[in-house]
Chain A
Amino acid sequence: MKKKILAAPYLVWMAVFIVVPLIMVAYFALTDNAGKFTIKNISDVGQYANIFVRSIWLSVIATAICLVVAYPVSFLLSRMEKHKQGTMLMIVMLPMWMNFLLRTYAWMTLLGNNGIINHLLGLIGLGPYKLINTSGAVVLGMVYNYLPFMILPLYSVMEKIDKSVLEAASDLGCSSMNVLFKVIVPLSLPGITSGITMVFVPAISTFIISRMLGGGSNLLIGDLIEMQFLGNSYNPNLGAAISLVLMVIILMIMTIMNQFSPDDQVLM
């Protein structure tokens, strides 16, 4: 029983550096710069509704693309021979080990007006197209950066689906489409939901991807928050209010996702 005391240093740390800072966000969000209670900050967030809508929209698109692209990848990986799976997974995850600023920078040089894509298109007489500083470039950056976050959870549930289950389904007369939608998809649902959260949360809160690939015209929630704290429109109260709203949005998404993925789901 005495061993509980070992957690004490961490509990103090947790209180001071996790709980108190989050309370401070709530406090700043609900006060003005003189420390008086106000809901003006929260209501001011409404002015930026267009940025919220854009952030949600772009990250929903990016998450959907990630799911569609990653699903077959994870399935193919999970059906490989066991000893090949580890190596293949490492090859898929390796780019994730590069700093994500460098990964995003790579697309900056590819998509730039004098970049290699426009150069190659120019050789066959096309373009130059405006590729960078578009919302498409932002979505591309999100997909590129977060695709492995979708592949990994999908792979880890699909790996557990027994081959004989799939064989049994097709022996019992399922077409391959039916095997996919009646067997594989339901069994991989926990992977789908955790993949969606793992892609959506960083996508909706990013400010780097939008800044590097979106130019000035594709501000996201993350940019908005960053500007209130480190940018020229210094206003921590408004920044805290925006952060609070962002947290609520994410909480809602996660609650919805949990509805689809009950804990008591039996994995094969």
Chain B
Amino acid sequence: MKKLGKIYLGAVLMFLYVPIFVLIVFSFNETKSRSVFSGFTLDWYRKLIHNDIIISSLINTIIIAVIASIVSTILGTLAAIGINNMRRVPKAMVMNITNMPIINPEIVTGVSLMLLFVFFAARMNLEFGFQTLVIAHITFDVPYVILNIMPKFRQMDPHLYEAAQDLGCGPAKAFFKVVLPEIMPGVVSGFLMAFTYSLDDFVISYFTSGSTSQTLPITIYSMTRRKVSPEINALSAIIFAVVVIILLIKNFVENKQAKKA
């Protein structure tokens, strides 16, 4: 029984990994063939580094993700504190609306924002591109920040804040010394989630980017629409390596923290 389980897990892992490994192997292929490996080369990586469109959209993606995740972390942290102090009914209402971008299919969120931006673009000085992308990213990021922080308030002893004030802290000091450290893990995980979602988003960016400003996923999409280009394979290999490194670091840090605790 145990052996059967292992074989099954192995088969599922193969299903998950083989396509990615095939991509990586063929990123070193001399010819453009997708099925015959004819010889080793690093040409596709060289071409990738010299591809201005990819590099500029990568930089664009990172800038947008940094701005969007920082703004949404600040906006979301303030919002979570405020929402936590609301009465039951308004709280439930705000949380229901906050959940919408998460529950709604991405395409609906993308389309709805596009309609709004088209409306603004026609009447105000709003251009599709960088601005609309940042606004869209903040909009789908904030809910994740709020949802990461809210449970921390539930875990926190509500009397801690009062105790700090009784012991002579002003409201601001009590907040920074008592409340913020308590909710900090939620703030950090919310920020990281917002950042990764921003980096990875395609659908919402696709509808809100216009034609001037591109993010990396949009560039990848237009590359897949054209004929075979092994540069995508090279890009996949690099992204895969980065992901593995980040997850290894994350695992290492978490293990270390677990040992400390």
A residues near B (Cβ < 8 Å) are 1, 3-11, 13-14, 16-22, 24-25, 28, 69, 72-73, 76, 86-88, 90-92, 94-95, 97-110, 112, 114-116, 118-120, 144, 147-148, 201-202, 204-208, 212, 222, 225-226, 229-230, 236, 239-240, 243, 246-247, 250, 254
- Of residues 98 to 153 in B, which have CB atoms within 8 Å of A's CB atoms? 98, 100-101, 103-109, 111-116, 118-119, 135, 138-139, 142, 146
Smallest distance from the beta carbon of A38 to chain B beta carbons, Å? 17
Is B53 in contact with chain A by the CB < 8 A criterion?
no
Contact of B114 among A73, A229, A250 (CB under 8 A): A229
Contacts of B15 in A (CB 8 A): 144
B97 at the A/B interface (Cβ < 8 Å)?
A: yes
Chain A residues with CB below 8 A from B232, complex form? 102, 105
Of the residues A16, A69, A230, A243, contact of B12 by C-beta under 8 Å: A69
List 13 A-B pairs, Cβ < 8 Å. Answer: A24-B112, A24-B119, A102-B23, A105-B220, A106-B19, A107-B19, A115-B34, A147-B16, A202-B105, A225-B108, A239-B111, A240-B115, A247-B108
Bound CA span A107–B146, Å: 36
Considering only residues 162-203 of chain B, those with a C-beta below 8 Å from chain A are 196, 200, 202-203
A53 to chain B, nearest CB (A): 18
Interface flag for B247 (CB, 8 Å): yes
Given A11-B94, A99-B220, do A73 and B8 touch, yes or no (CB 8 Å)? yes
B residues with CB within 8 A of A: 5, 8-9, 12-13, 15-17, 19-20, 22-23, 26, 33-36, 75-76, 78-79, 81-83, 85-86, 94, 97-98, 100-101, 103-109, 111-116, 118-119, 135, 138-139, 142, 146, 196, 200, 202-203, 206-207, 216-217, 220-221, 224, 228, 232-233, 235-236, 239-240, 243-244, 246-247, 251, 254
Q: State the CA gap A5–B189 with chains docked (Å).
A: 24
Report which residue of A13, A19, A120 has the largest number of chain B beta carbons within 10 angstroms of its beta carbon: A13
Q: A6-B78, A106-B23, A107-B19 are in contact. List 17 more A-B contacts (CB 8 A).
A: A3-B82, A3-B85, A7-B78, A7-B86, A11-B79, A13-B142, A21-B115, A72-B8, A73-B8, A94-B247, A99-B200, A110-B22, A114-B34, A225-B108, A225-B111, A247-B105, A254-B103
Across the interface, do B76 and A10 meet the contact criterion of CB distance under 8 Å?
Answer: yes
Return chain A residues, CB-CB under 8 Å to B78: 6-7, 9-10
Report A205 CB to chain B, min CB distance, Å: 3
Set A5, A17, A98: member contacting B82, Cβ < 8 A: A5
- Closest residue on chain B to residue A119 by CB atoms: B35
CB distance from A14 to the nearest CB of B (A): 6
Residues on A with beta carbons closer than 8 Å to the beta carbon of B109:
21
CA A118 to CA B135, docked complex, whole Å: 45
Residues on B with C-beta less than 8 A from A17 are 113, 116, 135, 138-139
Contact of B112 among A21, A109, A250 (CB under 8 A): A21
Interface-central residue, A11, A22, A205, A225, by most chain B CB under 10 Å: A22
Q: How many Å from the CB of B177 to the closest CB on chain A?
A: 16
Are B79 and A9 in contact, with the CB atoms below 8 A? Answer: yes
Q: Which residues on A sit within 8 Å (CB–CB) of B100? A: 18, 22
**Smallest beta-carbon distance A73→chain B, Å:** 5
The answer to whether A243 touches B107 (Cβ under 8 A) is yes
Asked whether B221 lies within 8 Å of A208 as measured between CB atoms, the reply is yes
The docked-state distance in angstroms from the alpha carbon of A182 to that of B113 is 46
Contacts of B81 in A (CB 8 A): 3, 6-7
The answer to whether B224 and A101 have CB atoms under 8 Å apart is yes
In the complex, the chain B residue whose C-beta lies closest to that of A108 is: B224
List B contacts of A236 (CB < 8 A). Answer: 115, 118
Contact of A22 among B112, B118, B119, B217 (CB under 8 A): B112
Chain B residues whose C-beta falls within 8 Å of the C-beta of A13 in the assembled complex = 75, 138-139, 142
Q: Are B82 and A8 in contact, CB atoms less than 8 angstroms apart?
A: yes
Q: Which 7 pairs, one residue from A and one from B, show the smallest C-beta to C-beta distance? A: A7-B82, A10-B79, A205-B105, A21-B112, A119-B35, A106-B19, A6-B82
Give the shortest distance, in Å, between A28 (CB) and chain B (any CB): 6
CB atoms of A95 and B17 under 8 A apart: yes
Chain A residues contacting B203 (CB-CB under 8 Å) are: 208
Residue of B nearest to A25 (CB): B112
